[in-house]
Structure 1
């Protein structure tokens, strides 16, 4: 298991064609239009993680990364995809779909709990522990500490294994088609967030 680090883009041909990719982002905060994208994390589930850092004056001209994220034949796995899709769409200019969201899948099948954070899922589904101590650290600094790099890598390290277990439970409960419909809507949900409807339920009667 190795964590690879790049500045501004990934190498060409880093991932096999069509391989599903786990994706996460680190930003300066939770307001996409204000808080810039700092790091994109990627993993194909083979045991290595790849981190791409963008500087404060980045133009986000990352053609290799954008090609991977925009590939319509490549499934992208996220935890809370809604946020990551919006950040990538706004800063990199591509919609990183099709997508799978482990948080949505968890909410559909783990109805016995209200704990759907990544740390809880990794513990419940895989029996492993991850640290979230660096979650609120400064991702825009001139250097990323070893703790930050390990934290960022851990956010994509387990998504493939989690998807396999969540799929098994979705099939068991007869909710796979419903989950897929939710995943298919996520790009539109992210576009609504960016367009000014982050907290408004446009499907509500009033």
Structure 2
């Protein structure tokens, strides 16, 4: 299976998603922000440096699952010292913004550093959505196309993941508890995809293994607007 960037192993796109605990759910500071298109970001009074993440939060020790507890994106119960804030920063809500770039309507542009996905619209406009992106070491860039679309996709962990995490399920039917969420748009022949999530409070963070995660509402909205064959530019 093709990898997204030179020298990086493909670990199954967004199949392995790390729930980060005890952190501001935005990648930037909480200061006011103006952001309308890739490369145009301004803040007032706060740092724009991404939050620091643990060097290797990828593979926690396997723990027995407790019956009745919700399965998180890693496929195991989550034990947290304190509750994670469940409110998505307003910056990451869907918005219509100005767009003056060269790409045609229907093109998806993913601005990885700023955690935004843009769908170019006619008339110099774009729809902007907040996203979760690959954690440090798993981000990538390039041009892909939407090769397939699926509603409530099932989850089959790849062999590489199962080798590291033999406690994970071999298959998980699509549904609200599935880490891939309500919709998935597959990118070329890779294992990367744009998909929903069962952990919406992680939007705005670098937490995935390379996939682009959205809230279920946003990915459903995007799914209805995007055709198979659409170009996806990841920067």
Please, what TM-score do these two structures have when normalized by structure 2?
A: 0.22
Which is helix-richer, 1 or 2? 1
User: Whose RCO is larger (CA < 8 A, sep 6+)?
Assistant: 2
Name the one with the larger strand percent: 2
